[in-house]
Amino acid sequence: MVYREEFQVTSNAGVPTFHNVTGQTKNAVKNSGIRNGIVVVYSRHTTCCVIIEEDAFDMAITGLETLQQDFVEVFEKLIPTYRKEGMYQHPGPKALKFGAEHGEDAQACHNTDAHLRSSLVGRSETVVVIDGKMDLGEFGNIYFIDFDQTRARTRTVQIQVIGE
């Protein structure tokens, strides 16, 4: 048996956005009627990804939770935000031309860091479903991360439940 839901989230500009989609995923599992199997939470956007992490309680000055901010800092060290020309080879002239022809301004094309970060993390997470419930342990939450900081955007989160 396969059951699907999708919904939209709106990301901020200027900072990676962590969307807590645990509640929506729990509801989808419930709505599916599936008792045992898996649920896949998936991003079709190539600058977004999915992780499972604890709720950290405390907030950083950026508006992210402390553990989210620490996660961002790891990437700031490894794959820094695209701040000036020449940090990455992408986007090249053809990519910029393609962007311009499709109504993207040049600044929005310089989201290379988001492409690299999100592909390293992975586009989806899979959670086991047992007796009609996701097993996230005591503290697990599912976050859909939008690493693209160049502009505010609406994104689609896909939830696919498979089982019996």
Kindly indicate which of the ranges 7-15, 18-26, 48-56, 146-154 contains the residues binding a second copy, using the contact rule CB under 8 A.
48-56
57 contacts a second copy (rule: CB under 8 A): yes
Quote the CA–CA distance of 48 and 52 in Å, as a whole number. 14
Q: What is the layout of strands, in order, in the sheet containing 140-146?
A: 17-20, 140-146, 48-54
User: At residue 58, what is the residue type?
Assistant: D
* Contact between 136 and a second copy per CB under 8 A: yes
123 is a contact residue toward a second copy (CB under 8 A): yes
Kindly identify the residues of this chain, within the stretch 68-97, that bind a second copy according to CB under 8 A: 69-71, 73-74, 77-79, 88-95
| Terminal alpha carbon distance of the chain | 6
Integer Cα distance of 64 and 39 in angstroms = 26
What tokens does 16 get? 């990676």
Residues that bind a second copy (CB under 8 A): 1-2, 4, 36-38, 40, 42, 44-46, 51-54, 56-60, 65-67, 69-71, 73-74, 77-79, 88-95, 98, 112, 115-116, 119-128, 130, 135-137, 139-140, 158, 160, 162-164
